[in-house]
Amino acid sequence: MGPGPARLYEPVLGRLLEGTRRAVLALATPRPGMAVVDVGCGSGALLARYAAAGCRVIGLDPSPAMLAEARRRLGPGAVLAVGGAAALPFPSGGADLVTATMLLHVLAPGERVGALVEMARVAGEGGRVVIADHAPGREPGARARLARALGAAVEGLAAHGGGVRSLRAEGGAAGLAARAGLAVESEATAAGGAIAITRLRPIAPPGR
């Protein structure tokens, strides 16, 4: 993503993600001093909420232009790195919380479990992983139908429609969790039920 589209991300799409970000914060309440890693951090808008609460924030994104926006928003205190979810350049157990918002559906189906394994590694046994992405179920009601239609339109324009469908077919983050060594701890929804927010805890290996 170039500098122009990166600057437009928050004014255009950031508003659509506001409820999702609030739901992430509700499932993973900021605490001063906690280390938060956001995989696919984009413009840094979610990390900014954690930074404002006194957290140490670390962001990873494949787009240098998006990271430039994140740096502008977060200032020099944030640790920001270019990279992808397949191999996180962070130590095992180095984070209290690892988040990924609207990332899994962008990855190829064969890459999703590996990305979750990496997030679980960085979180360690005492940390948590929180994933926000398209929900596999269908919430009833007109608002839910409208939210799904809007989401489908946006993802279709971004050529991510196939990824959304395949993630839903896999059961979303909750459906992939056990294969990545994670257990579902709690769940919430946003955008009229179109987005699932799933808090996961790493499963300790046998004998630990």
Amino acid type, 107: L
Under 8 Å CB-to-CB from 146, ≥6 apart: which residues? Answer: 192
Please check the confidence at residue 196 and state whether its pLDDT lies above 60. yes
May I ask the CATH class of domain 3-202?
A: alpha beta
What order do you get walking across the sheet with 128-134 strand by strand? 79-82, 56-61, 35-39, 97-101, 128-134, 195-202, 182-190
Q: Of 158, 161, 153, 150, which is closest to residue 192 (Cα–Cα)?
A: 150
Q: What is the pLDDT at residue 122?
A: 97
In tens, the pLDDT along 82-123 reads 999 999 999 999 999 999 999 999 999 999 999 999 999 999
**What's the chain's average pLDDT?**
86
Question: Cα separation of 124 and 122, whole Å?
Answer: 6
Under 8 Å CB-to-CB from 203, ≥6 apart: which residues? Answer: 181, 182, 183
Output the six-digit token pair for 12. 């255009």
Query: Residue 197 pairs with which residues in a beta bridge?
Result: 132, 188
Which of the four pLDDT bands, split at 50, 70 and 90, describes residue 145? Answer: low
